[in-house]
Amino acid sequence: MKFLTPALVATTALIAPSFASAAQVTLTTHMRNYGGEDAYLGYYLTDASGQYVRHLWIASGKSRWWDHLSGWYAGTGGSSSEISGLSGASLGSGRTREITVDVEDALINAGYQIRVDVAVEHMPNSHAEIIVPLDDANKGQSVPGRGYIATFTFDM
């Protein structure tokens, strides 16, 4: 009996997270024709005050440039365990990228924001180029970027 309780607790801790429901959120980013190297983009969630909550995706070929994505990097610390399986190649000028990520239902319509940081070699970095509330009112709405991103939309 002494061993049954810890075993039951451990098993429940491993299985319970799989029951949490999540929505698939599609992020679509259209880049401007900015005439530079391919861009690194860090996608992440923050609370309403801008505090990092969790990583969504990173478009980056080389980890040595991650610290240029200042908001994203401050939250993740550049930890490869934080981004495991949630990354892809950098994105070129004038190109479009569509990715789908899982987001916990509890974070939707609850005051959280999608943020995107952008960095391009030999050009100024763009911290929080995109800030859009993760709610039903904003899904499908085109949001203009402040620099490298022409438009950003998300859908659920």
- Amino acid 107: pLDDT: 97
Domains in the chain and their CATH numbers? 22-155 (2.60.40)
Among the listed residues 19, 33, 14, the one whose alpha carbon sits nearest the alpha carbon of residue 104: 19
pLDDT at position 102 is 96
Backbone angles phi, psi at 139, to 5 degrees: -65, 140
The pLDDT, as a whole number, for residue 85 is 72
Q: What residues have CB less than 8 Å from 69, skipping those under 6 apart? A: 40, 41, 42, 58, 60, 117, 118, 119, 125, 127
Query: Model-level pTM?
Result: 0.85
Q: What is the pLDDT of residue 153?
A: 98
Q: Divide the 156 residues of the chain into consecutive groups of 10 and give the mean pLDDT of each group.
A: 46 47 96 96 96 94 86 89 81 97 97 98 96 98 98 98
Which pLDDT value is given to residue 80?
A: 79
